[in-house]
Amino acid sequence: MNRLENWQRVTKGEPFDLIIIGGGATGAGAAWDAASRGLKVALFEANDFAEGTSSRSTKLVHGGVRYLQNGQVDLVREALRERGNLVNQAPDFVEPLAFLVPAYRWYERFFYGVGLTLYDFLAGKLGIKKTEHWGRQKATDAFPTLRERGLRGGTLYWDAQFDDARLVIALIKKASDAGACAINHCRVTELLKDAGRCVGVEICDEHSGERAHVSAKVVVNCTGVFSDEVRAKDRPGTDRIILSSRGSHIVLDQKFLPGSRAIMIPKTDDGRVLFAIPWKNRLVVGTTDIGEAPITVTPKASEEEVAYLLDHAARYLNEKPSRADVKATFAGLRPLVRPADSKGSSAQVSRTHHIEVSSSQLITIAGGKWTTFRQMAEDVIDRAVEVGGFGEAGPCQTLGETIVEAQEQVSAEFIHPDLPYSWRDVERAVRDEMALTLADVLSRRLRCTFLDEAASIEIAPEVARRMAEWTGKGEEWIAAELDRFSQFIDS
């Protein structure tokens, strides 16, 4: 992953079969899939890899228990299959996680017990572990901070969790190893047409302002909630297909729910599910669902959402967390596919993915879930092979292919007593993983801002100083970067 070399590849006119717009889960997965079939691929990401929704998820690789309640059995079966594949393919990133659904009413143990047994059944051979039916004593022993009053026991089921942004970086590495040319902070500003067909893109390096034209036989739009912006460049005035819905999270000290198991609250006031999940020695609580949320790369949790999450967490915990206990908040925008009748709640909108080929042959993939990125990539690249007439490209190669994290064996000094990262992690981000800005390092290569905003602000000047030293930048760059980082934290 070398940004300068990749910029030279595209500006020297290297021919590509495929251009992928967007470097989130969908784009990175598609680049990996296409490159591993032998296609020549370029990927352009306007911001940082995973800076959009793909670093802002609830960090679950899951079948989606709640979609079963909506009767979306095919979606759940597909997600459970991909969940099982990912646990096997990417064990460095994806870890099985047990969830308790606590029961406070007599019928809940029975009701959720039946639903979750069906969930196990749908997972089949790719299931993680069997659902268990727990009595009150077992639940309070395992979850000593769970509200005891009225507790009748619960149902323990299995899904998995992961580090979303790091998996995107790993996918970009896999794609790069297979020959793909991926560039972050590089926006697609125009689509190039020839005889009505989309034959390339104009790109702009967001750091230098330099522009270039890049040609390819097929262009694939993987821009999540920004899909309609790119579709409008193809066909101005076209109908919108995206319904964006904001989901917010709060991050608390893990003392509120110690241990390695999570809790799933199956029904909140507004009919959603709520998770409280241990993640990197913190507790992530989420999420909300605010339909028709404004589209931006840096959505923010509102104070109402924070209050809602604190209120719901407090209902199930012995010690009630307050606003002062919130170490960080983060929000993301779901790129849902707008149903013909979009009057209902966005929580009810299907999470299945949708592929569209326009009259100029621009391919757009929208919707879906992080968990199903591999299947989405396979489907969209199958379509690109058809559209581009890439007869020489074989079938999808990604199923069963391992995805590994570069493990550092050397012990190194931690960057901050409250953050689980070393200076070696920072150096690797800058030298090997295309991190250009403080936020690239502290938000997506390392997950500091997601875990602890105050600690991230404390450590930022020293991180900026070392980044400048490694990249030959001066005092001016450090000052500008710290300023930009503080605006990022505020937003």
Ligand X SMILES: Cc1cc2nc3c(=O)[nH]c(=O)nc-3n(C[C@H](O)[C@H](O)[C@H](O)COP(=O)(O)OP(=O)(O)OC[C@H]3O[C@@H](n4cnc5c(N)ncnc54)[C@H](O)[C@@H]3O)c2cc1C
Does 26 bind ligand X (CB under 6 A)? Our answer is yes
Query: C-alpha angle with apex 80: 97 to 36, nearest 5 degrees?
Result: 105
DSSP state for residue 9 in the 8-state scheme? H
Does 335 bind ligand X (CB under 6 A)? Our answer is yes
The stretch among 25-33, 393-401, 465-473, 475-483 that binds ligand X (CB under 6 A) is 25-33
C-beta of 285 vs 385, nearer to ligand X: 285
- The amino acid sitting at 366 is A
Does 185 bind ligand X (CB under 6 A)? Our answer is no
Does 42 bind ligand X (CB under 6 A)? Our answer is no
What is the Cα gyration radius of the chain?
A: 22
Site for ligand X in 294-333 (CB under 6 A): 297, 332-333
- The amino acid sitting at 200 is G
Does 226 bind ligand X (CB under 6 A)? Our answer is yes
Strand pairing report for 242-253 and 262-265: unpaired
Nearest to residue 168, comparing CAs of 374, 449, 363? 374
Among 34, 39, 52, 327, binds ligand X (CB under 6 A): 52
CA distance 158 to 138: 17
Tokens representing residue 191 in the block: 């689509």
- Kindly state the smallest distance separating residue 2's Cβ from ligand X, in Å: 19
The stretch among 93-101, 169-177, 216-224, 311-319 that binds ligand X (CB under 6 A) is 216-224
CA distance 391 to 348: 40
The stretch among 141-149, 171-179, 369-377, 420-428 that binds ligand X (CB under 6 A) is 369-377
Nearest to residue 447, comparing CAs of 172, 31, 92, 59? 59
Tokens representing residue 385 in the block: 């092979």
Does 287 bind ligand X (CB under 6 A)? Our answer is yes
The stretch among 7-15, 46-54, 308-316, 471-479 that binds ligand X (CB under 6 A) is 46-54
Does 370 bind ligand X (CB under 6 A)? Our answer is yes
**CA 356 from centroid of its chain's CA atoms:** 22
Q: Are 366 and 354 in contact (CB under 8 A)?
A: yes
C-beta of 148 vs 190, nearer to ligand X: 190
- Kindly state the smallest distance separating residue 453's Cβ from ligand X, in Å: 18
- Kindly state the smallest distance separating residue 191's Cβ from ligand X, in Å: 10
Q: How many CB atoms lie within 10 A of CB 183?
A: 22
C-beta of 290 vs 415, nearer to ligand X: 290
Task: Name the residue with the smallest CB distance to ligand X.
Answer: 24
- Kindly state the smallest distance separating residue 292's Cβ from ligand X, in Å: 14
Q: Which residue has the tokens 């990749």?
A: 6
Three-state DSSP state, 334? strand
Neighbouring residues of 198: CB distance < 8 A, sequence distance ≥ 6: 191, 192, 218, 219, 234, 358, 360, 361, 362
Does 67 bind ligand X (CB under 6 A)? Our answer is no
- Kindly state the smallest distance separating residue 290's Cβ from ligand X, in Å: 10
Does 7 bind ligand X (CB under 6 A)? Our answer is no
- Kindly state the smallest distance separating residue 375's Cβ from ligand X, in Å: 12
Does 147 bind ligand X (CB under 6 A)? Our answer is no
C-beta of 82 vs 418, nearer to ligand X: 82
Does 27 bind ligand X (CB under 6 A)? Our answer is yes
- Kindly state the smallest distance separating residue 244's Cβ from ligand X, in Å: 9
C-beta of 3 vs 466, nearer to ligand X: 3
C-beta of 24 vs 113, nearer to ligand X: 24
Q: Which helix (H) or strand (E) holds 354?
A: strand 353-357
DSSP state for residue 66 in the 8-state scheme? H
Nearest to residue 181, comparing CAs of 346, 47, 301, 13? 13
Does 24 bind ligand X (CB under 6 A)? Our answer is yes
Q: Are 190 and 233 in contact (CB under 8 A)?
A: yes
Among 22, 113, 115, 266, binds ligand X (CB under 6 A): 22
Question: Under rule CB under 6 A, how many of the chain's residues touch ligand X?
Answer: 40
Among 222, 363, 384, 478, binds ligand X (CB under 6 A): 222
Judged on CB neighbours under 10 Å (0-12, 13-18, 19+), 360 is: middle
The stretch among 1-9, 39-47, 387-395, 478-486 that binds ligand X (CB under 6 A) is 39-47
Q: Sign of torsion, CA 315 316 319 324?
A: negative
C-beta of 199 vs 333, nearer to ligand X: 333
Q: Which residue has the tokens 């390392």?
A: 446
Torsions phi, psi of 136, nearest 5? -60, -45
Please report, as ranges, the residues that interact with ligand X according to CB under 6 A.
21-27, 44-47, 51-54, 56-60, 62, 187-188, 222-226, 230, 247, 287, 297, 332-335, 368-371
